[in-house]
Structure 1
Amino acid sequence: MVAMTTNSVVPLADAASYAAAVEEATRAAAAYYATGGSTLDDDAYDRLARGITAYEEQHPEEVLAGSPTGKVAGGAATGDVPHTVPMLSLDNVFSEEQFVTWTASVERRIGRPVAAWSVEPKLDGLAVAARYHEGRLDRLITRGDGTAGEDVSHAIGAVLGLPERLGTPVTLEVRGEILMTDEQFDAANATRTAHGAAPFANPRNGAAGTLRAKDRPYRVEMTFFAYGALALPGSGALTDTLGELPHSEVLRYVAGLGVRTAADTEVAPRTAGTVEEVLAGVEDIAGRRAALPFGIDGIVIKADPAADRRDAGSGTRAPRWAIAYKLPAVEKVTRLIGVEWNVGRTGIIAPRAVLEPVEIDGSTVGYATLHNPADITRRDLRLGDQVMVYKAGDIIPRVQAPVAHLRTGEERPIEFPRSCPRCGSEIDTSEQRWRCTQGRDCRLVASVSYAAGRDQLDIEGLGATRVVQLVDAGLVTDFADLFTLERERLLGLERMGETSTDNLLAAIETARTRPLSRVFCALGVRGTGRSMSRRIARHFATMDRIVAADAEELQQVDGIGKEKAAAVVAELAELAPLIAKLVAAGVGMTEPGVTPPPAPGTVAEEAADADGGTDGGSGLPLHAMKVVVTGAMTGPLEKLSRNETNELIERAGGTSSSSVSTRTSLLVAGEKAGSKRAKAEALGIRIVSPDEFAEMVAPFLD
Structure 2
Amino acid sequence: MTTPVAAIVDAPAYAQAVEDAVKASAAYYTGGTSPMDDDTYDRLVRAITAWEDGHPDQVLPDSPTGKVAGGAVEGDVPHTVAMLSLDNVFSPDGFTAWTASLARRVGHEVERFSVEPKLDGLAVAARYTRGRLERLITRGDGTAGEDVSHAIGTVEGLPEVLTEPVTVEVRGEVLMTTAQFEHANEVRTAHGGQPFANPRGASAGTLRARERAYTVPMTFFGYGLLPLPDTDPELAGRLRELPHSASMVRTAELGVNTTAGTAVPGTTAGTAEQVLARVREIAALRAALPFGIDGIVVKADLAADQRAAGSGSRAPRWAVAYKLPAVEKITRLLEVEWNVGRTGVIAPRAVLEPVVIDGATITYATLHNPADITRRDLRLGDHVMVHRAGDVIPRVEAPVAHLRTGAERRIVFPEVCPRCGSAIDTGEQRWRCGNGRNCHLVASLSYAAGRDQLDVEGLGRTRVVQLVEAGLVTDLADLFTLTRDQLLSLDRMGGTSTDNLLAALGTAKGRPLSRVLCALGVRGTGRSMSRRIARHFATMDHVRAADSTAMQQVDGIGTEKAPSIVAELAELAPLIDRLVAAGVNMTEPGATPPDPAAADGPTGASEGSQDMQGAKGTQSAGSAEGQEPAGGPLAGMTVVVTGAMTGALERLGRNEMNELIERAGGRSSSSVSKKTALVVAGEGAGSKRARAESLGVRLATPDEFAALVADHLGQPVS
Instruction: Give the TM interval when normalised to the shorter protein.
Output: over 0.9
Find 2:482's aligned residue among 478, 481, 485.
485
**Structure 1 counterpart of 2:660, one-letter code:** L
Give yes or no for the alignment of 1:694 onto 2:706: yes
Whole-angstrom CA distance in 1 between matches of 2:539 and 2:239:
58
Residues 124 and 610 of structure 1, relative CA distance in 2, 3 Å threshold: closer
Report the counterpart of residue 648 of structure 1 in structure 2. Answer: 660
CA distance in 2, matches of 1:246, 1:126: 24
Alignment partners' CA distance in 1, 2:652 and 2:606: 37
Q: Which residue of 1 aligns with 2:131?
A: 135
Q: Pick which of 333-342 and 247-256 moved more.
A: 247-256
- 1:543 matched to 2:555? The reply is no
TM superposition shift of 1:459:
0.9
Q: Which residue of 2 aligns with 1:360?
A: 357
How far apart are residue 603 of structure 1 and its match? 13
The Cα shift of 1:111 comes to: 2.4
Equivalent residue runs for 1:105-124 within 5 Å: 105-124=101-120
- Secondary structure of the structure 2 residue equivalent to 1:69: helix
**C-alpha spacing 1:240/1:604, structure 2 compared with 1 (3 Å):** closer
Task: Verify the 8 A CA contact 1:115 1:305 in the aligned structure 2.
Answer: no
Counterpart mapping for 1:157-236 below 5 A:
157-236=153-232
Deviation at 1:434, TM superposition (A): 0.8
How far off its partner does 1:679 sit?
2.8
Distance in 1, matches of 2:178 and 2:634, equals 34
Match of 2:643 among 609, 616, 631: 631
| Aligned alpha-carbon RMSD (Å) | 2.0
Tell me which residue corresponds to 2:247. 250
Q: 1:497 aligns with which of 469, 476, 494?
A: 494
* 1:598–1:614 CA contact under 8 A, matched in 2: no
1:612 Cα deviation after fit: 7.8
Find the residue that maps to 2:194 and give its secondary structure.
coil
Q: 5 Å matches for 1:54-453?
A: 54-236=50-232, 237-453=234-450
Structure 1 residues 134 and 603: CA distance shift in structure 2, 3 A: closer
2:634 alignment partner, one of 609, 612, 622 = 622
Query: Aligned-pair distance for 1:169?
Result: 2.1
Deviation at 1:680, TM superposition (A): 2.1
Q: Does 1:680 align with 2:692?
A: yes
Between the aligned partners of 1:49 and 1:607, the Cα distance in structure 2 is: 56
Show the counterpart of 2:6.
10
Tell me if structure 2 keeps the 8 A contact 1:18–1:55: yes
* Superposed displacement of residue 114, structure 1: 2.2
Alpha-carbon offset, residue 117 of structure 1: 1.7
CA 1:612/1:468 → structure 2, altered by over 3 Å: closer, same or farther? Answer: closer
- 2:588 and 2:710 map into 1 onto residues whose CA distance is 18
Amino acid at match of 2:106: I
Q: For residue 575 of structure 1, what is the amino acid of its counterpart?
A: L
1:112, distance to aligned residue in structure 2 (A): 2.6
Q: Is the 8 A contact 2:613 2:631 kept in 1?
A: no
Aligned to 1:559: 556
1:5 maps to none
Q: CA deviation at 1:641?
A: 1.7
Matched residue SS, 1:559: coil
Structure 1 residues 387 and 682: alpha-carbon distance in aligned structure 2, compared to 1, 3 A threshold = closer
Q: Separation in 1 of the partners of 2:313 and 2:277?
A: 31
Deviation at 1:132, TM superposition (A): 1.3
Evaluate the alpha carbon distance shift between residue 219 and residue 489 of structure 1 in structure 2; reply closer, same or farther with a 3 A threshold. same
Structure 2 residue runs of 5 or longer lacking an equivalent are 617-629
**Percent identity, aligned pairs only?**
70
Q: Distance in 2 between matches of 1:31 and 1:639?
A: 56
Matching residue within 509, 519, 522 for 1:522 = 519
SS at match of 2:66: coil
Q: Which position in structure 2 is the counterpart of 1:659?
A: 671
Q: Aligned equivalents of 2:667 and 2:225: distance in 1?
A: 38
Kindly provide the CA deviation profile for residues 283-320 of structure 1, in whole angstroms up to 9, marking residues without a partner as x. Answer: 11111111222111111111222222232222211111
Residues 608 and 259 of structure 1: CA distance in aligned 2, closer, same or farther (over 3 Å): closer
Work out the CA distance in 1 between the residues paired with 2:423 and 2:266: 52
Counterpart of 1:3 in structure 2 is none
Q: Which residue of 1 aligns with 2:620?
A: none
Distance across 2 between alignment mates of 1:604 and 1:86 = 55
Contact residue 552 and residue 562 of structure 2 kept, 8 A: yes
CA-CA distance at 1:454 after TM superposition: 0.9
Is structure 2 residue 607 aligned with structure 1 residue 595? no
In 2: Cα distance, 1:410 partner to 1:681 partner: 55
Q: 1:56, 1:63 within 8 Å by CA — same for their partners in 2?
A: yes
Q: 1:607 to 1:573 in 2, by over 3 A?
A: closer
Q: 2: distance between equivalents of 1:467 and 1:235?
A: 76
How many Å apart are 1:32 and its aligned residue?
0.8
Partner Cα separation in structure 2 for residue 482 and residue 85 of structure 1: 74
Q: How many pairs does the alignment contain?
A: 695
Paired with 1:683 and 1:650, the residues of 2 have a C-alpha distance of 23
Normalising by structure 1, report the TM-score. Answer: 0.96
Distance 1:608 1:422, change over 3 A: closer
Code of the aligned partner of 1:276: E
Amino acid at match of 2:288: A
Letter in 1 for 2:102: V
Q: Which sections of structure 1, spanning at least 5 residues, go unmatched?
A: 1-7
Deviation larger for 604-613 or 354-363:
604-613
Query: Quick check: 97-106 or 228-237, which moved more?
Result: 228-237
Deviates more, 1:560-569 or 1:611-620: 611-620
- Quick check: 1:10–1:50 contact (8 Å CA) kept in 2? no
Q: Which of the numbers 12, 28, 32 marks the counterpart of 1:32?
A: 28
Residues of 2 paired with 1:603 and 1:71: CA distance?
61
Question: How far apart are residue 380 of structure 1 and its match?
Answer: 0.6
**CA shift for structure 1 position 696:** 1.6
Report how far residue 602 of structure 1 moved: 10
8 Å contact kept, 2:378–2:411: yes
Counterpart-to-counterpart distance in 1, 2:390 and 2:400? 23
Give the aligned partner of residue 52 of structure 1.
Answer: 48
Q: Name the CA distance, whole Å, in 1 between partners of 2:590 and 2:101.
A: 59
Alpha-carbon separation, structure 1, partners of 2:702 and 2:430: 43
SS of the residue corresponding to residue 420 of structure 2 reads: coil
Q: What does residue 580 of structure 2 align with?
A: 583
Normalised TM-score (structure 2)? 0.94
Q: Partner amino acid for 2:658?
A: N
Deviations 1:549-586 (A, max 9, x none): 11112112221111111111111111111222222222
State the SS of the aligned residue for 2:57.
helix
The structural deviation recorded for 1:399 is: 0.7
CA contact (8 A) 2:555 2:607 kept: no
Q: Which moved more, 1:101-110 or 1:35-44?
A: 101-110
Alpha-carbon deviations, 1:169-199, whole Å to 9, x = none?
A: 2221111111111211121112222222111
* Residues 454 and 278 of structure 1: CA distance in aligned 2, closer, same or farther (over 3 Å): same
Instruction: Tell whether the 8 Å contact from 1:515 to 1:589 is kept in structure 2 after alignment.
Output: yes
Deviations 1:141-177 (A, max 9, x none): 0001111100001111111111212222222111111
